[in-house]
Structure 1
Amino acid sequence: MSLPTIDISPFLNPSSTAASRKQTAQAINTACTQYGFFYLTNHGIPTATQDHIISLARSFFALPLSQKLQIKRHDAGGPEGGDGARGYQPMGDNVTAGRRDMHEAVDWYREWDHAAKTEGSGGKGTSAPLQGTNLWPSEPTDLKDVYEEYVKQVLTVGEAVVRAMGVAIALLCNGEGEVDDEVFVKSTDMSFWVMRMIGYPKLSSSVAPSESGSTAADMENEFSCGEHTDYGCITLLLTDPTPGALQVLHKDGQTWINADPIPGAFVVNIGDMMERWTNGLWKSTKHRVIHRGDGYRVSVPFFYEPNFDAVVEPLGACVRKSGREPVHQGSTYGEHLLGKVLSNFY
């Protein structure tokens, strides 16, 4: 069993036919309904660029811990000027379902440019949650420039995907009332995106029993990243070639599918906000990372999110199509995200 593959080029090429766009949209609906995950091809970002992104991430994680800690994430309102979200997370700091994940990461967000900044709880010179500035490492020296250019490229891909999803949901809900097929594009035109750079050591050697008191049984229950759904809109995952690490839960609720990387392709999944918009017609899918293969695994997921002030609520046509009561009364994406940040993303 494998995830479907979708060619997004009809939504990037202005001269594409209506028939090709419809075919892509229908394929997206099938993928989102049956899996919540798919591979994305012909997105326009060269494989060489993707390889460079992964190589720079690997170089950063190979640095001494003391150097990585120079851009450590700090709580909002503190004297360090942190905003509770941006910066480096050491190994084991991330917690999923009450268990420490065995990975390290760096988080970057869209700069706070949609509204005036407010003073943090610590007073003048401190940052409110999410309102800080991105922290970039001094090494590799070209990482900041390369990653910022990559953000521009992947934003274009994200826009194409949500445009296709809008067409897909309009086709799915045909007869249930008018659906604006640009609804997702309009709600993400100032996407409050997130980009993570994640490093995963091999689990079987990441914690030594002599250091932690772990038993062999404990080691088998370790996770590189525990079972979860993504809380935003869509995720475009770029990862190194390591197989057997990312696992996706099938809709049967029992079968785990390996989402092994395909060279040049993104692994795309829908998040909780897309489930909310579609009133559960498309459900965000649980997934996890268990890296027991060789080497140090690196991935760079890009989370294409709604605008900070976008109201995310079930679309009327989706409510009627689903035959269920609205799954949520609606809120802004910013309210949802702040709730995650302030609870350490639980």
Structure 2
Amino acid sequence: MATLPIIDIAPYLAPSSTPESRHDTAQLLHRACTDTGFFYLTGHGITSATTDRILDLARRFFLESSDAEKALIQRKDAGLDDGDGGRGYQKIGENVTGGRRDFHEAVDLYAPVQEEHGPPYKLLMGKNLWPQRPQELKPAFENYIKELKQVGTAVVKAMGDALGLLATQSDEGADVFVEATGNSFWVMRMIGYPGLPGTNAQGDLNGDVEQFSCGAHTDYGCVTLLLADQTPNSLQVQAKSGDWMSANPIPGAFIVNIGDMMERWTNGIWKSTNHRVIHRGENYRVSVPFFFEPNFDAVVRPLQKCVRETGGEAKYTEVVYGDFLTRKIAGNFY
């Protein structure tokens, strides 16, 4: 049973869609972003054959690759052996959230670096470290990323409509989100979650937890499109009441949430939502989140329309997304 609202994004991907259908999607989207910051996304046009293959390839990498093969693409600190501090494989316990080591392994992939970024941005300025096998993983993921970028653009277009930027002829323009993500500095993670060991993993949804597969956090950027296997009761979302609820996958849908930059743009009308992973099962859980982010050099500040609607005062300072991201990434590893 779905615990989050379901949004059909098809009207923003189909050229023949009607203004009425886009309006309906935008209204539902506004409500979802206001109430939970999380929702299921359908109508995205990416086939189940594609998403099943992506999950299968990720699972095969984690379970079939030797430790030596994983070490070949291991993340290295910026400036160390051509490392860039973020890209590559992280072993269990290397990623840190809230001061605790997470119980998962992962591979981080980022958008290609533009030469104009240059120094002082040593962090993230390298090349992606792709697994050597399965051999078909890299081309399959590259094609998948192209499809996801189109979906991400449709979602942020709908978000602009949901905020009424077109109808009110906002100061920043109706397509401010589309323009700010036109050269998205996207991020993709392949994540593998063994079941949490020991009795510390047990307990009810809102009880005390001593060990996390991934600790509670908000996402840094704009929009996250999460593909996960069908493991239930692992991804948990914090409601406004403070209670945690499971966000179980449903077939054919991405789980989507907004990030810190969208909260900043909307001056807090939409808030990025805490979420965490606690995988207590005996199976090996796999997820592949895609973070559709602003351009590296995008300047993100509260939209004037949103400032007016929240009392006339900007609650957030402006940031350059690349600066914000590199500061965050620098604190992710021990």
TM-score, normalised with respect to structure 1:
0.90
Moved more, 93-102 or 162-171: 162-171
Q: Which residue of 2 aligns with 1:251?
A: 240
Q: Is 1:186–2:187 an aligned residue pair?
A: no
Shift, 1:328, TM fit? 1.6
Match of 1:282 among 270, 283, 302: 270
Q: Pairwise mapping of residues 92-171 of structure 1 onto structure 2 (< 5 A)?
A: 92-113=93-114, 115=116, 117-118=118-119, 128-170=122-164
User: Which of 180, 193, 214 lines up with 1:225 in the alignment?
Assistant: 214
Give 5+ residue unaligned stretches, structure 2: none
Q: Are the counterparts in 2 of residues 166 and 180 from structure 1 also a CA contact under 8 Å?
A: no
Within 5 Å, give how 1:321-332 maps onto structure 2.
321-323=309-311, 325-332=313-320
Shift of residue 225, structure 1, vs aligned partner: 0.4
Alignment partner of 1:201 out of 191, 194, 197: 194
- Is 2:201–2:211's contact at 8 Å kept on the other side of the alignment? no
Equivalent in the alignment of 1:70: 72
**Matching residue of 1:124:** none
Pick closer, same or farther for the CA change 1:310–1:158 going to 2, 3 Å: same
1:26 counterpart SS class = helix
Render the CA deviation track for 1:264-314: whole Å, top value 9, x for unaligned: 110000000000000000000000000012300000000000000000000
Measure how far apart 1:114 and its partner are: 5.6
Q: State the distance in 2 between where 1:215 and 1:246 align.
A: 14
RMSD: 2.2
Aligned amino acid, residue 197 of structure 1: M
Task: Return the alpha-carbon distance in structure 2 between the equivalents of residues 329 and 57 of structure 1.
Answer: 38
Tell me the amino acid that sits aligned with residue 17 of structure 1: T
1:170–1:179 Cα contact (<8 Å) kept: no
- The alpha-carbon deviation at position 204 of structure 1 amounts to 3.0
Distance 1:45 1:114, change over 3 A: farther
Cα distance change, pair 326–5 in 1 and its aligned pair in 2 (3 A) = same
Q: Which amino acid aligns with 1:108?
A: L
Deviation of 1:216 (Å): 8.6
Change (3 A) 1:198 1:129: same
* 2:226 is aligned with 1:273: no
User: What letter corresponds to residue 96 of structure 1 in structure 2?
Assistant: T
Report the more deviating stretch, 315-324 or 233-242: 315-324
Count residues in correspondence.
328
Q: CA deviation at 1:129?
A: 1.1
Kept after mapping to 2: 8 A contact 1:243/1:261:
yes
Q: Secondary structure at the match of 1:102?
A: coil
Runs of 4+, deviation exceeding 2 Å: 116-120, 173-181, 214-217, 341-346
Amino acid at match of 1:21: R
- Alpha-carbon separation, structure 2, partners of 1:220 and 1:89: 23
> Unaligned regions of 5+ residues in structure 1, if any?
121-127
* Counterpart among 308, 312, 315 of residue 320 in structure 1: 308
Moved more, 177-186 or 325-334: 177-186
Partner residue in 2 for 1:239: 228
Verify: 1:261 aligned to 2:249, yes or no. yes
- What is the alpha-carbon distance in structure 1 between the residues aligned to residue 316 and residue 286 of structure 2? 35
Q: Distance in 1 between matches of 2:273 and 2:118?
A: 34
Aligned to 1:125: none
Counterpart of 1:283, as a letter, is K
CA contact 1:176–1:317 (8 Å) conserved in 2: no
Aligned to 1:123: none
| Shift of residue 326, structure 1, vs aligned partner | 1.3
CA contact (8 A) 1:176 1:320 kept: no
- Corresponding residue SS for 2:240: coil
* Paired position in structure 2 for 1:83: 84
CA contact (8 A) 1:110 1:194 kept: yes
Distance between the aligned counterparts of 1:117 and 1:4, measured in 2? Answer: 41
- Match of residue 334 from structure 1: 322
Identity of aligned residues (%): 57
CA shift for structure 1 position 88: 0.3
Q: TM-score, normalised by structure 2?
A: 0.93
> For the structure 1 residues 279 and 146, does the alpha-carbon distance in structure 2 shift closer, same or farther, using more than 3 Å as the test?
same
Return the alpha-carbon distance in structure 2 between the equivalents of residues 60 and 39 of structure 1: 27
Q: Equivalents in 1 of 2:156, 2:88: separation in Å?
A: 28
8 A contact 2:202–2:280 mirrored in 1: no
Q: Give the match for residue 21 of structure 1.
A: 22
* Equivalent residues of 1:176, 1:321 under 8 A apart: no
